[in-house]
Chain A
Amino acid sequence: MNGNVLLTNALSFRYTRNLVDSGNGKFNLMILCWGEGHGSSIHDHTDSHCFMKILQGNLKETLFEWPEKKGNGEMVKKSERVLRENQCAYINDSIGLHRVENISHTESAVSLHLYSPPFDSCNTFDQRTGHKHKVKMTFYSKFGERTLCATAVPQENN
């Protein structure tokens, strides 16, 4: 699928999640389209495996430690890297939390994501305090068709 088609069709205020295949309920395969400067919150992966491949452009991934139970301080960065075209990454909750961002101000980016088992909610974290908040995740499009209610519930992350 050409990510450019998804990117040029509409000016979205943030990155879009576009479902490609729901694999008999065993996994979700989706394409994320990131405009210049778009980034996700820090989030977890609800006990699922998460694979990511860069199809176009570059994405920066910053890994964070889980905050302390009663944590009320700045979250701890573990590492960061820039993933280039065709590079792959993997994460699950035992590895940690991450934020993914397109830090380019000139190029958009497209990534392919595989989650198994599929999940539609996760936690987002405030970097300054470690405070977490559960959010529902929505799709901008499914199987090539624009979803109608995508703007009603805030999209949160990948």
Chain B
Amino acid sequence: AVRSPRPEAWGRAAASRGRRAARRLVLSPRRLAGPLPAGLAQWFPALEELDVSGTGLAELGAELLALPRLRTLLAKNNRLGGPGSLPKGLAQAPLGRSLRVLNLSGNRFAEVPPALLGLRGLQSLSLGGNRLHGIPPDIQELRSLEFLYLGGNFITSIPPELANLPSLSYLVLCDNKIQSIPPQLAQLHSLRSLSLHNNLLTYLPREILNLVHLEELSLRGNPLVVRFVRDLTYNPPSLQELAGRTIKTRNVPYAPSDLPENLVRYLSLASNCPNPKCGGVYFDSCVRQIKFVDFCGKYRLPLMHYLCSPECSSPCSSASQSSTSQSESDSEDEASVAARRMQKVLLG
């Protein structure tokens, strides 16, 4: 490794044969007087890792583009974030193909820089401790991403496109302003660790139980619903819905010639009530309800369910049952599934 050469000595360092073969260059944490020199790729053509963290840089320029072997770029704690912080043509350059690890934490990015979304080989990206208010749907372009750290920003919501990252194993979203998790995140089959602590979550989508490889889930510091909540919102079903439900549940026979085309289509959209003990269906009118699931016999997590009616919350529930009941017998099936699948929950 070459350690912190003074800018005026770089020419001398590059001239020495030993230095030309350098694979790792650490400039951190010395403050640099100006931007990185233009001759960087010429002087250190074999460079695989470059650490410019804490050097005060306001931009990373074209001098990086010609580093054909660079795999790791660490640029934490700088002044990056304005337009032109990353060089144009980043994804198309040799650097764009070789880069595997990019750490831009502790900078001033207000949005995920579009320039880096073309880095199809990138495996690890950190933008922790910046000023992000959201995640662009095009994050799905980072096809090789395994590790994504976005903790400590101002993110309010998660785009469902994040679930299209096939290799994502480690997702950190702690210390943000997230109010809900899109159910599509359950498609992240490779996810091993999900960090959601210190956000604004009141419940989780029930699909989270589908993340079979999830080993860790941190949820502390969220205003999670603790007591049973009935009927968050429920608009009574329309006459059309009631008729549709009757046709479906009573198996009333009909042929496409019997009904206008729009009603035939409507009838095909019936969803089954997820309550396994109810054979009901619903169309548009459903109840969003919080149901508690025990994980590892340890914690009760509120998951959001869609049920066909307020009466459908549990097999032994009725209108007379206390609305503050916390134990639900029909959550046992769910709980044993959950306990098997979710090995560890960090709620503390």
Q: Which of B77, B151, B195, B347 contacts A128 (CB under 8 A)?
A: B347
Docked pose: A36 CA to B126 CA in angstroms = 10
Given contacts A37-B174, A105-B175, A128-B224, contact A154 B343 (CB under 8 A): yes
- Whether, in the assembled complex, A18 has its beta carbon less than 8 Å from a beta carbon of chain B, the answer is no
Fill in one digit per residue for B329-347: 1 if any A CB lies within 8 Å of its CB, else 0: 0000000000000011011
Docked pose: A154 CA to B298 CA in angstroms = 14
Docked pose: A154 CA to B295 CA in angstroms = 14
Query: Distance (Å) between the CB of A61 and the closest chain B CB?
Result: 14
Given contacts A13-B170, A14-B193, A37-B174, contact A105 B151 (CB under 8 A): yes
- Whether, in the assembled complex, B152 has its beta carbon less than 8 Å from a beta carbon of chain A, the answer is yes
Chain A contacts with B in 84-111, Cβ cutoff 8 A: 99, 103-106
Query: Distance (Å) between the CB of B42 and the closest chain A CB?
Result: 29
Given contacts A106-B76, A106-B129, contact A125 B175 (CB under 8 A): no
Give the dominant DSSP class at B's interface. Answer: loop
**Judging by beta carbons under 8 Å apart, are A42 and B348 in contact?**
yes
How many A residues touch the partner, as a band?
Answer: 20 to 34
Query: Distance (Å) between the CB of B329 and the closest chain A CB?
Result: 20
Docked pose: A124 CA to B347 CA in angstroms = 10
Q: Which of B129, B151, B226, B348 contacts A99 (CB under 8 A)?
A: B348
Q: Which of A14, A105, A124 contacts B348 (CB under 8 A)?
A: A124
Fill in one digit per residue for A1-44: 1 if any B CB lies within 8 Å of its CB, else 0: 00000000001011000000000000000000000110111100
- Whether, in the assembled complex, B56 has its beta carbon less than 8 Å from a beta carbon of chain A, the answer is no
**Judging by beta carbons under 8 Å apart, are B105 and A14 in contact?**
no
Fill in one digit per residue for B60-98: 1 if any A CB lies within 8 Å of its CB, else 0: 000000000000000011000000000000000000000
Query: Distance (Å) between the CB of B144 and the closest chain A CB?
Result: 15
Given contacts A11-B147, A13-B193, A105-B105, contact A36 B347 (CB under 8 A): no
- Whether, in the assembled complex, B244 has its beta carbon less than 8 Å from a beta carbon of chain A, the answer is no
Give the dominant DSSP class at A's interface. Answer: loop
B126, B128, B151, B347: which has the most chain A beta carbons within 10 Å? B347
How many B residues touch the partner, as a band?
Answer: 20 to 34
- Whether, in the assembled complex, A65 has its beta carbon less than 8 Å from a beta carbon of chain B, the answer is no
Closest to A41 in B: B348
Given contacts A36-B128, A105-B105, A106-B128, contact A128 B226 (CB under 8 A): yes
**Judging by beta carbons under 8 Å apart, are B128 and A11 in contact?**
no
Chain A residues with CB below 8 A from B224, complex form? 128
Q: Which of B106, B193, B218, B344 contacts A106 (CB under 8 A)?
A: B106
Docked pose: A13 CA to B64 CA in angstroms = 31
Fill in one digit per residue for B289-303: 1 if any A CB lies within 8 Å of its CB, else 0: 000000000110000
**Judging by beta carbons under 8 Å apart, are A13 and B226 in contact?**
no
Chain B residues with CB below 8 A from A133, complex form? 298
Docked pose: A106 CA to B76 CA in angstroms = 7
- Whether, in the assembled complex, B216 has its beta carbon less than 8 Å from a beta carbon of chain A, the answer is yes
Fill in one digit per residue for A134-158: 1 if any B CB lies within 8 Å of its CB, else 0: 0000000000000000010010000
Chain A residues with CB below 8 A from B76, complex form? 106
- Whether, in the assembled complex, A121 has its beta carbon less than 8 Å from a beta carbon of chain B, the answer is no
What are 6 A-to-B residue pairs whose CB atoms are below 8 Å? A36-B126, A36-B128, A36-B151, A36-B172, A37-B149, A41-B347
Known: A124-B348, A131-B299, A151-B215. 4 other contacts (CB 8 A): A41-B346, A105-B129, A106-B129, A125-B348
Enumerate chain A interface residues (CB-CB to B < 8 A): 11, 13-14, 36-37, 39-42, 99, 103-106, 124-129, 131, 133, 151, 154
